[in-house]
Amino acid sequence: MPTKSRSIGKRPTDLAARERLRQAQVAESRATAAVYAAMEALGAAIAKREEANAAATVVVDSAAGALTLARADLVAVSGLDRAAMLLGVSKPELRKATKAEPAQQPAPADVFGAAS
């Protein structure tokens, strides 16, 4: 039995049909390229967002550390009782806040007793 090469589909014999097929293939190729370009743009946007989030996290961590130091300075200057009264928090809350690592800082609402 002789083997015949299999074609993917019949090729149109009419010139107008061939032109329509060619135009459809060009449109399909452009649409596929647009999808891949959009995927690349999305990846770049996600990477940019992650960089911005990382930079913002550094700023927030720095601010949290500064807050811890400022509280500790106030306690050193005024004493724990007076500093707690000035800040409107309990002594145990202030003691905990002045000893916490910046990454372990409670949310501002928790520090100032709003969540209690």
Residue 79 region, left (φ>0) first, then alpha (ψ -120 to 50), else beta? left
DSSP state of 14: S
CA-based nearest residue to 105, from 88, 87, 89, 93: 93
Domain-embedded: residue 7:
no
Q: Could you tell me if residue 9 is inside a domain?
A: no
Q: Which domain holds residue 24?
A: 16-111
* Token pair of 41 as six digits: 């743009």
Output 96 or 107, whichever has higher pLDDT: 96
Q: What angle do CA 10, 11, 15 make, to 5 degrees?
A: 145
Does some domain include residue 5? no
**Residue 10 falls inside a structural domain:** no
For residue 71, give the nearest of 104, 97, 107 by alpha carbon: 97
Q: Which residue has the higher pLDDT, 78 or 100?
A: 78
Average pLDDT, whole number, for the chain? 85
> What is d(CA 84, CA 74) in angstroms, rounded to the nearest whole number?
9
State percent of the chain over pLDDT 90: 69
User: What is the arithmetic mean of pLDDT over 24-47?
Assistant: 98
Residue 2 lies in a domain: no
Token match 């000893």: residue? 99
Closest to 74 measured CA to CA, from 113, 111, 115: 111
* Residue 2 scores a pLDDT above 70: no
Name the more confident of 115 and 75: 75
Whether the full predicted model's pTM is greater than 0.85, yes or no, is no
Domain count, the chain: 1
